[in-house]
Structure 1
């Protein structure tokens, strides 16, 4: 009996230490961090503003008068990583590293598949996936525009963190992660009418990677973004399948899952 009590007491102490540690570092709820600079992927991005009563993203713009009920289907386009490679300096900081460009394509494919799976696996009524644009259809276009790995990841892969780029905040973000800050990723997206091509919605978000007790992920320069991308995908599904007065929230900044 005493042995069991000691085990329970030890577990309680460990959990208390973990919780205390999270409290002491004062990590913002939902892993939210400052908005990333505009990449150029979105036109008239200055129209976006925070709308946290509904959207979990840093900034959003919705066309006045657009009604979600007018659309039943969504097409997910191939994900853009051009702005990530060119604008943020990854390509210039690591010249000749073809593996970096190959893995950027893998990142794009992973993001597209994750968003697609999130919609396919959600059984709630509402918007469904389609294979091509058409009436009552929206087209989702996404771009991963920033990645800031940890210092350990950069060292393990022998990569140089970008220290330049047209958007100063991107260089600061990469540098802060390399200096011991939290790894992060940023995304931009837009919804277009499947017939007219008119932009109906734009959003931009930057998230930090969740804290983990043990990290068993394979070391890649974008591996830390997998959980963030899954969250973005699930949030987009929730937005598509909930009323306009429903608040979609951020995730927690800490997880006990090692993968």
Structure 2
């Protein structure tokens, strides 16, 4: 019997299909089994973002089942355990400025000063990453602000926000959704965010790892984050920040799984 599933490209059909898959999985195997397969489950509904240009040689990246990010490259022979200090660089927003919907804001008076919001999101992302590492019980890295402060082998974490989907009201204002969609439209709206990142050896300046991910925040119909165009993105950034620390602490052969990107909340 051929068990291969051909996934539709329509966001609505993809969301419906994923919901059915998750219901079936919960019924048959229970919640714990679903969590162990969330790296694969995420790939059913969230396609990787196109390469934005922040990462050189993106073709080297692959999907690893033991990591939550959709694209990863690690230099052969790289040993993260030899590094003890970390610099978290300011988050790059250059590629966010190139989003299609942002270019159409001149015709929509719904949003004021979105570019300032983007900078605030970049600061939020960086602050969450720093907070997670500082509160890490294992103290895997000593956080430093500048390369000149390092006294031990150190890495520099460089991140770029490359996509944040606007919320449903913004899509309405831009004419990308029909008015009156109601709850159904709220569930279908995927509200994705994406980043590209790299790790750099501070002593040599060499990039030793690259990674990229696009994720989707829960699209429950009563989610009040619709009140801001960027609201769902902060939850995704929180998740990424936690994952960075888990990856830094993981043991050889250990997997870091992604949380379920879509929760069924019909009421």
Q: Which residue of 1 aligns with 2:158?
A: 141
Alignment gaps of 5+ in structure 1: 1-20, 162-176
Give, in angstroms, the shift of residue 208 of structure 1. 1.0
Match of 1:89 among 94, 100, 107: 100
Query: Secondary structure at 2:63's aligned position in 1?
Result: coil
- 1:244 shift after superposition: 3.2
Q: Is the aligned partner of 1:24 residue 2:20?
A: yes
Q: How far apart in 1 are the matches of 2:225 and 2:125?
A: 17
User: Take 1:41 and 1:56, find their aligned partners in 2: how far apart are those partners?
Assistant: 20
> Partners in 1 of 2:93 and 2:175 — Cα distance?
18
Q: CA deviation at 1:83?
A: 0.3
Shift in CA distance, 240/99, structure 1 to aligned 2, threshold 3 Å: same
Equivalent residues, number: 219
Among 50, 54, 62, which residue is 1:49 paired with?
62
Matches within 5 A, 1:93-132: 93-95=104-106, 99-132=113-146
Output aligned runs, 1:200-215, within 5 Å.
Answer: 200-212=208-220, 214-215=222-223
| CA drift at 1:221 | 1.6
Residue 186 of structure 1 aligns to a residue whose secondary structure is strand
Distance 1:179 1:121 in 2: 34
1:193 and 1:150 map into 2 onto residues whose CA distance is 38
**SS of the counterpart of 1:36?**
coil
- The separation in 2 between residues aligned to 1:74 and 1:24, in whole angstroms, is 42
Partner of 2:89: 77
Most deviating of 129-138 and 189-198: 129-138
Structure 2 segments unaligned to the other structure (5+ residues): 1-16, 24-36, 177-184
**Matched residue of 2:117: which SS?**
helix
Please give the alpha-carbon distance, in whole angstroms, between the structure 1 residues aligned to 2:242 and 2:153.
22
Assess if the C-alpha contact under 8 Å between 1:138 and 1:192 holds in 2. Answer: yes
TM-score, with length taken from structure 2 = 0.73
Q: CA deviation at 1:255?
A: 5.5
The change in CA–CA distance for 1:152 and 1:26 in structure 2 (over 3 A counts) is farther
Q: Do residues 251 (structure 1) and 264 (structure 2) align?
A: no
Kindly state the Cα deviation for residue 132 of structure 1 after the two structures are TM-superposed: 1.7
Give the C-alpha shift of residue 124 in structure 1.
1.6
